[in-house]
Structure 1
């Protein structure tokens, strides 16, 4: 007989909005939208006060402004979201035996077996309070027997609340909820389920598995299992790749700043490309300089998560000039990107990055076909 699991799901409430309100308390209690300008773009996040008007994330900004003309709109501070997310991650990592960072503001913790030593419910309450006390961020959680139920229960506990669903109560808890509460059910599938007379999760559970399979194929069977509270998703241990780096030792030590800068740009382009190939972003950049006497110095700086050359190159140049001993010949130059993660792309939601992403995909496609050096900035030639 398999062991009953204990899974906690933590979710930072209206994360972007909460960070903005901490940094500017005058925004608290207002219908607030994070997402660029009133005239263009989409809603990246909105306060609960704004949600009362029907505003939600991914809504066109023009629509949001029609629904609530008095809403306060701010562009957002991407670096702050990264910083607060790292802070919460560090607090959880210091306490949880096994956790998964599902997104910039969402975490799963596997507490199975902890009941031999602690009360998992009280332990989780205490961890939530520690996060609130240290960061000031509101956060909700739920405790359940699997990831799916824990996530759904967290949404029911919001805002800034918590709840527990017993191991034998999963089906009963899910039954009255709308069927599109199940993660992964999109608009089209939801409409199809409504035409089948299915409105709640309980309606799915009451159908025969064969009927669900007939109408929706294998996905129908998957939904039937989920409606009965059956879900086997594992908590994937969180780890970030340590770094990607490159360095170059010059044949002859050089004081030629044009040459040195072209090398710095070339190396930054190279590690940025590697980052994108791994679908990662970096939160820290470092530059290393070695002089002819083999004295080696390096300097790093935290940055807003990115994988784009045009954002990383200025940071690399800034570090170089802060580090470089003017007039001294350079023997070796290196660039390193660290604090790598795949979840931070969400911090770009409030920026119109579609054109930039498309541009880099095209550049990377050329590099992938013809080699990393097939296309590069004029500065490096």
Structure 2
């Protein structure tokens, strides 16, 4: 019996593309690109066949078309991808004792202590087969002693694979890999380490902690730990994922709907910015009002995973219209985003032009430099444009 933790990392293979292939089997085996349907668009996801030509997520559509002119471009359907994501989570929830939804298409499962009852590798294999059979979507998994190594194991066996890295094999598994393979290691860090001759994990693992601390501070020490196969981060129960929200109690009870709508826009922009700062996406939004008689009324809606202002604002305004049914003074309004998962905002790119998405990024940079209230929509200020 193996000792220590048993962590499974499950990751959908080219998730958005797989959902499209499930709907249209003629796409199987073809270079498929999600997003980038206009010259100003950006690639959201692509099939492994397209990746062979150098196409990757976040690439400008023009470049993708130059690299792979015969690819099938699909605008994308975030509703379908979110639905499939929830279905996968529901299956995992029924089958395992503890799991974390790490992003829209990946989960960590803590099976520590379960080997005495049922082999973890066997159980993971059967869970994977259940997902494939019930949903018709390919999925891969890695099983190892912690989240970092299990994720790296998954990445090495994709697509449509399984890999078990036992404790005694962790360092031999990691050593020959490029430092690029370490989760969380960005391009700038890769270039910096490469310029120093550190290209393989085996080399990085031999660096003295004091030297790594001098080079990169706490981030350097974290990378060094990962290179040695050490990661003590826990699997965070999905039910405990926190929400982000805000509310406002009016100085005087009001019935001014236009003012409240503008306030909602401002509130949503603030919490959407917080969401992007935390690199998270939300799949649920809730609007709450309190009447002057202290009656609270709440409406909630599931939404495609997002952190973009436009989607969240429209849904918040729609929920407010549903919840405010009495012609009575209001004393409070609140909005909350929940069902949070980790992820960067690429999944609305196919519905936004590159310029529009760049605008959101530019506004975030202004907020980071001058404060969250430094920029807002003209409509919030009551300015006609």
After TM superposition, the score normalised by the length of structure 1 is 0.78
Measured after TM superposition, the shift of residue 70 of structure 1 is: 1.0
Measured after TM superposition, the shift of residue 375 of structure 1 is: 9.5
Measured after TM superposition, the shift of residue 97 of structure 1 is: 2.9
Measured after TM superposition, the shift of residue 158 of structure 1 is: 0.9
User: Which is worse superposed, 25-34 or 6-15?
Assistant: 25-34
Aligned match of 2:233? 234
Q: Is the 1:244–1:337 contact (alpha carbons within 8 Å) kept by the matching residues of 2? A: yes
Q: Secondary structure at the match of 1:330?
A: coil
What RMSD, in angstroms, separates the aligned Cα atoms of the two structures?
4.2
> d(CA) in 2 for partners of 1:110 and 1:9?
9
Change (3 A) 1:37 1:367: same
Unaligned runs of 5+ residues in structure 2 are none
Aligned match of 1:330? 328
Change (3 A) 1:64 1:123: same
Aligned match of 1:74? 74
Aligned match of 1:358? 362
Q: Secondary structure at the match of 1:141?
A: strand
Measured after TM superposition, the shift of residue 116 of structure 1 is: 2.8
Aligned match of 2:131? 131
> d(CA) in 1 for partners of 2:201 and 2:291?
67
User: Which is worse superposed, 91-100 or 288-297?
Assistant: 288-297
User: Which is worse superposed, 265-274 or 29-38?
Assistant: 265-274
After TM superposition, list the pairs within 5 Å mapping 1:211-222 onto structure 2: none
Q: Secondary structure at the match of 2:335?
A: strand
Aligned match of 1:265? 262
> d(CA) in 2 for partners of 1:24 and 1:330?
51
Q: Secondary structure at the match of 1:169?
A: helix
> d(CA) in 1 for partners of 2:193 and 2:114?
39
1:46-72 CA-partner distances (Å, limit 9, x unpaired): 101112222222333222212211111
Aligned match of 1:277? 274
1:355-374 CA-partner distances (Å, limit 9, x unpaired): 12333564687775689999
Q: Is the 1:7–1:145 contact (alpha carbons within 8 Å) kept by the matching residues of 2? A: yes
Aligned residue pair count: 371
Q: Secondary structure at the match of 1:156?
A: helix
Q: Is the 1:272–1:307 contact (alpha carbons within 8 Å) kept by the matching residues of 2? A: no
1:182-216 CA-partner distances (Å, limit 9, x unpaired): 334455655666666666444556x6759986996
Aligned match of 2:247? 246
1:17-37 CA-partner distances (Å, limit 9, x unpaired): 122223444433221112333
Unaligned runs of 5+ residues in structure 1 are none
1:376 to 364, 370, 380: 380
Q: Secondary structure at the match of 1:113?
A: coil
Aligned match of 2:50? 50
